[in-house]
Structures are given as C-alpha cells and as structure tokens.
Amino acid sequence: MKRRRNQRGMTLIELIVAFTILSLLAAMAVPLARHKVRRDREKELRQALKELRIGIDKYKDACDGGKLGQAKVGTECYPETIEVLVEGAKQSGASEVKMKFLRRLPRDPFTGSKEWGKRSVQDDPTSLSWGGQNVFDVYTKTMEKAPDGTAYSEW
C-alpha cells in the first residue's frame, strides 16, 4: 500500500516523540507551580500577621493613651480577644461609640480559617497554648515548615 503525497497525519514515531516532549514539559511545570503556590501563601501569611499585629499595637497604644478607659487587671492594656479588634472597644467618655482596629479578621492561608494561635504577655514566647489573659501576639496554627526549615508558627 503506497502512501499518497497529499495524505496528512503523523507516524507512530512522531506521536511518541511529541508525547515525550509534552510529558517532560509537564514534569518541569508541576514543581514550579507548587513553589509559586507556596510563595503566594507565605506572602499572604506575612501580610495577615502584619495586619493583626498592627491592630494589636493600635489597641495597646489607644489603651495606654487612656482612650479606652480603665484597662482590666491582667490585660496590660492588650486586647482580651482578637475579635475585640473587629467588634471595637468602647471609648472612654463616649456612651456607645466604639473604636475599631481591624475591618475584618484575615484568613490564615495555610489552614484556610480565621482561627489564629494566640499568645499573652504571661505566656512563654515559644508556647503553642494560650493562657487567655490577653492577646499579645498571634501565629498560624499550621505545623508546616518553610523551605529554610523554620516553622510557620514562629513567624
């Protein structure tokens, strides 16, 4: 059987070569995509932690400045919960006016929730349990580690 000159198509060898090239390209693209996703999550985590810590610092400054009235004993002028930063705290002298420090709680990009680990002033700096007196610092609850070997909960 002769092949016509105007007949088009690919031989089996050409198909195998094309499939091999596509497989190699796909095998190289997957690790790059995973790396990009991880870097994007790390960037989101840094931004969320920065936002929360700035909110905590603003609350502390307002409390130290006497704008929130008398601080509760044991809080050292830090918020009692993270939610207070969003819901707001009553200003001193104002009847129903609340001072808010965050628009919303940011989502943890690694756990996918708005649940954050908390540390109070009284807690050990490396502790992963919260004493409940106040919120001095926040961290992610994921147990994953960054490429440099540090735990994301230490950021």
| DSSP letter string, the chain | -PPPTT-----HHHHHHHHHHHHHHHHHHHHHHHHHHHHHHHHHHHHHHHHHHHHHHHHHHHHHTTTT-SPPTTSTTS-SSSHHHHH-EEPTT-SS-EE-S-SSPPPPTTT-SS--EEE-TTS-TT-SS--SS---EEE-----B-TTS-BGGG-
pLDDT value for 91? 80
- Please list, in sequence order, all residues whose beta carbon lies within 8 angstroms of the beta carbon of residue 56, skipping any fewer than 6 positions away: 78, 79, 85, 101, 135, 136, 137, 138
pLDDT value for 71? 78
CA distance 125 to 115: 19
- pTM (2 d.p.): 0.77
Q: Number of C-alpha atoms within 13 angstroms, CB side, residue 53? A: 12
CA distances from 52 to 15, 45, 143, 145 (A): 55, 11, 20, 21
Backbone angles phi, psi at 58, to 5 degrees: -65, -40
pLDDT value for 41? 93
pLDDT value for 94? 61
Q: Which residues of the chain have pLDDT under 70?
A: 1-7, 94-95
pLDDT single digits (tens) 98-130: 889 999 999 999 999 999 999 988 887 777 788
